[in-house]
């Protein structure tokens, strides 16, 4: 008991000291970024202004509220499941002697690149009532598998394809953690279990919260998985409004309700992240992190990594390859799509650089200059991520065509759309990583005469490297698969892998969708492998 308290005392420090006023160089870009993030809300307000009584009536009917409650429940469950899975896998790949852990750490992140509109199809094809698994079991007399549709299916799909959010965020925190509290706890007689639960886990709190927040908001915004697995979520309702009635007012009204739900989630996360300090406050050299030997636990550990990779990565690849072979056997030609692959890689790389750059001032402001304003700026960046892609796309159509006509439907506009949609992924990762850096370093640099930009460039950003790279990885993978904004806002004729997949799956041409889908996974593999190698050299 005493040991734990002592260990924690090392990490938590004085609270309550008044934060300094942020320099304009950080405040101005951060506020500018946040203002851009408000565009979708401004659009929704403009659109809802014309809502009549009918719309309000439809909004308040029992079914809408039921759907809202179901959606909240789905978000909660998926968040809980991904948190458990993500933390466990992160710890195994960073802090244990798990065999082949470099390989696992690359493979376990990749499911993020499987678009939910592909993942959903694959799950139904494999585990549907009469899917591939049933075909295999048919000789044993299995006529039909239990229904995967509805809540369980949607939950499993979203968990499998979004747990990497938690994994990546927690992995960064685990790798950048100061080992001394753990060592203190262990030397004072704590066993491994209680050290993990009472020293390591509490320090991971902001990282888990950051990852879980992304999962929760992603769940709110997803359309592909929920529609394929027949779970009626709120986003599904919004799509139906566009689909059936071309009623943008009603859709906007529904989307505003989703914004309210997002604010509630953000509030909950704000409470969960806490106000503790997570950097080392004492003098000491940085030592390599202790590696926990797994012993015979190595087998269950390997099994859980293997199962996750099987279900979330190997299965989609297998099913896609199956479709491809089936199509070729039926006489379909093999069409390689290098043009779209290049386009995807190009747009994703540019977007990643821009998004990471935009995230830096927001993260610094939120961590180093805590105030209601900085909290508001940081939280605002999350709005675009929680909204269905089509809503963000239409918001940018509305503003783009009116106020940025020369840029409308250019690559610049598309990149801007990606920023609005995916910025929080980089902000969260940068923030979690900055929390582990002591402000004393920056203060020392400043006191030695370094300017604000100089300090940022030479001290803060290099120390944030791990977090920024993790954020960059997340952003790259998600931009690769982005669809609704790409369809509407890209330069005309700019085909990406995601749009190639979409244009064929929509018509049920799966053999033709398989090639771009497999390429998407392949191209995404490259930066992930680089990141893993970089991790290795850093240690």
Map the footprint of another protein across residues 467-506, applying CB under 8 A. 468, 484, 487-488, 492-493, 495, 499, 503-506
DSSP-assigned states of every residue in 417-469: HHHHHHHHHHHHHHHHHHTTS-HHHHHHHHHTT--HHHHIIIIIHHHTHHHHH
Name the residue nearer to another protein (CB basis): 5 or 61: 61
Helices (H), 38-191: 39-48, 53-60, 62-95, 101-107, 116-127, 132-137, 151-175, 180-187
Give, in order, the Cα–Cα distances in Å from 125 to each of 78, 130, 144, 506.
Answer: 22, 8, 13, 15
Beta bridge partners of 96: 292
In angstroms, rounded to a whole number, what is the distance separating the alpha carbons of residues 490 and 346? 13
Strand, coil or helix: what is 508?
coil
Q: How far is the CB of 416 from another protein (least distance, A)?
A: 16
Tokens of 406: 């020369």
Q: Residue 432, class by beta-carbon neighbours within 10 Å (0-12 exposed, 13-18 middle, 19+ buried)? A: buried
102 is a site residue for another protein (CB under 8 A): no
465 is a site residue for another protein (CB under 8 A): yes
Q: How far is the CB of 230 from another protein (least distance, A)?
A: 6
Name the residue nearer to another protein (CB basis): 16 or 508: 508
Place of tokens 């506009």: 413
Q: How far is the CB of 186 from another protein (least distance, A)?
A: 33
230 is a site residue for another protein (CB under 8 A): yes
Q: How far is the CB of 17 from another protein (least distance, A)?
A: 29
DSSP 128: S
Name the residue nearer to another protein (CB basis): 188 or 452: 452
Name the residue nearer to another protein (CB basis): 94 or 515: 515
> Between residue 21 and residue 60, which ones bind another protein under the rule CB under 8 A?
58
Tokens of 284: 């000491």
Q: How far is the CB of 197 from another protein (least distance, A)?
A: 35
Out of 180, 281, 332, 410, point to the residue binding another protein (CB under 8 A).
332
343 is a site residue for another protein (CB under 8 A): yes
152 is a site residue for another protein (CB under 8 A): no
Tokens of 498: 């995601």
Do 394 and 439 touch, CB atoms closer than 8 A?
no
> Between residue 160 and residue 219, which ones bind another protein under the rule CB under 8 A?
none
Cα dihedral 479, 480, 485, 486 in deg (nearest 10): 140
Q: How far is the CB of 157 from another protein (least distance, A)?
A: 14
> Between residue 387 and residue 446, which ones bind another protein under the rule CB under 8 A?
390, 393-394, 397-398, 401-402, 405, 408-409
> Between residue 263 and residue 322, which ones bind another protein under the rule CB under 8 A?
none
Upper half-sphere CA count for residue 80 (Cβ side, 13 Å)? 6
Q: How far is the CB of 201 from another protein (least distance, A)?
A: 30
Upper half-sphere CA count for residue 123 (Cβ side, 13 Å)? 30
From the list 174-182, 271-279, 331-339, 517-525, the region that binds another protein by CB under 8 A is 331-339
Name the residue nearer to another protein (CB basis): 75 or 456: 456
Name the residue nearer to another protein (CB basis): 184 or 515: 515
In angstroms, rounded to a whole number, what is the distance separating the alpha carbons of residues 344 and 495? 8
Name the residue nearer to another protein (CB basis): 244 or 372: 244
From the list 151-159, 254-262, 332-340, 434-442, the region that binds another protein by CB under 8 A is 332-340
Do 26 and 460 touch, CB atoms closer than 8 A?
no
Contact mark string toward another protein, 53..72, x via CB under 8 A: -----x--x-x---------
349 is a site residue for another protein (CB under 8 A): yes
Name the residue nearer to another protein (CB basis): 63 or 440: 63
Name the residue nearer to another protein (CB basis): 270 or 339: 339
Do 446 and 459 touch, CB atoms closer than 8 A?
no
């Amino acid at each position: 008991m005493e040991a734990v308290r002592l260990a924690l005392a090392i990490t938590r420090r004085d609270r309550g000291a008044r934060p300094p006023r942020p320099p304009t160089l950080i405040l101005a870009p951060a506020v500018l970024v946040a203002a851009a993030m408000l565009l979708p809300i401004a659009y929704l307000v403009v659109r809802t202004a014309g809502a009549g009584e009918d719309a309000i009536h439809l909004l308040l009917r029992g079914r809408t509220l039921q759907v809202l409650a179901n959606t909240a429940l789905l978000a909660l469950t998926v968040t809980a499941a991904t948190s458990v899975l993500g933390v466990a896998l992160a710890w195994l790949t960073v802090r244990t002697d798990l065999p082949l852990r470099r390989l696992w750490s690359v493979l376990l992140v990749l499911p993020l690149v499987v678009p939910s509109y592909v993942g959903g199809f694959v799950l139904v094809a494999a585990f549907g009532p009469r899917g591939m698994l049933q075909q295999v079991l048919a000789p044993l007399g299995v006529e039909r598998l239990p229904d995967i549709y509805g809540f369980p299916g949607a939950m499993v799909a979203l968990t499998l394809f979004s747990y990497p959010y938690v994994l990546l965020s927690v992995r960064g925190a685990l790798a950048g953690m100061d080992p001394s509290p753990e060592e203190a706890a262990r030397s004072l007689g704590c066993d491994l279990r209680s050290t993990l639960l009472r020293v390591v886990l509490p320090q991971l709190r902001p990282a888990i919260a950051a990852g879980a927040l992304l999962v929760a908001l992603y769940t709110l915004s997803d359309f592909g998985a929920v529609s394929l697995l027949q779970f009626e979520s709120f986003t599904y309702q919004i799509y139906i409004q566009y689909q059936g009635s071309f009623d943008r007012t009603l859709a906007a009204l529904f989307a505003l309700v989703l914004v309210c739900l997002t604010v509630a989630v953000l509030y909950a996360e704000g409470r969960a992240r806490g106000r503790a300090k997570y950097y080392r406050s004492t003098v000491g050299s940085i030592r390599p992190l202790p590696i926990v030997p797994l012993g015979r636990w190595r087998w269950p550990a390997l099994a859980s990594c293997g199962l996750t990779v099987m279900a979330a990565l190997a299965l989609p690849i297998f099913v896609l390859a199956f479709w491809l072979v089936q199509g070729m056997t039926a006489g379909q030609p093999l069409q390689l799509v290098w043009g779209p692959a290049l386009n995807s890689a190009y747009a994703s790389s540019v977007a990643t650089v821009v998004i990471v750059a935009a995230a830096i001032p927001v993260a610094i402001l939120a961590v180093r200059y805590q105030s209601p304003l900085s909290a508001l700026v940081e939280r605002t960046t999350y709005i675009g991520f929680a909204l269905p892609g089509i809503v963000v796309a239409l918001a940018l159509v509305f503003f783009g065509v009116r106020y940025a006509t020369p840029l409308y439907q250019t690559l610049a506009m598309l990149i801007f759309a990606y920023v609005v949609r995916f910025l929080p992924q980089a902000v969260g990762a940068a923030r979690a990583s900055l929390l582990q850096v002591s402000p004393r370093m920056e203060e020392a640099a400043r006191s030695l005469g370094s300017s604000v930009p100089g300090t940022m460039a030479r001290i803060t950003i290099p120390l944030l490297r791990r977090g920024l790279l993790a954020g960059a990885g997340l952003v790259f993978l998600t931009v690769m698969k982005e669809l609704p904004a790409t369809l509407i806002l890209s330069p005309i004729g700019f085909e990406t892998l995601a749009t190639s997949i979409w244009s064929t799956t929509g018509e049920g041409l799966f053999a033709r969708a398989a090639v771009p889908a497999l390429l998407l996974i392949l191209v995404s593999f490259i930066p992930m492998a680089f990141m893993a190698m970089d991790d290795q050299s850093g240690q």
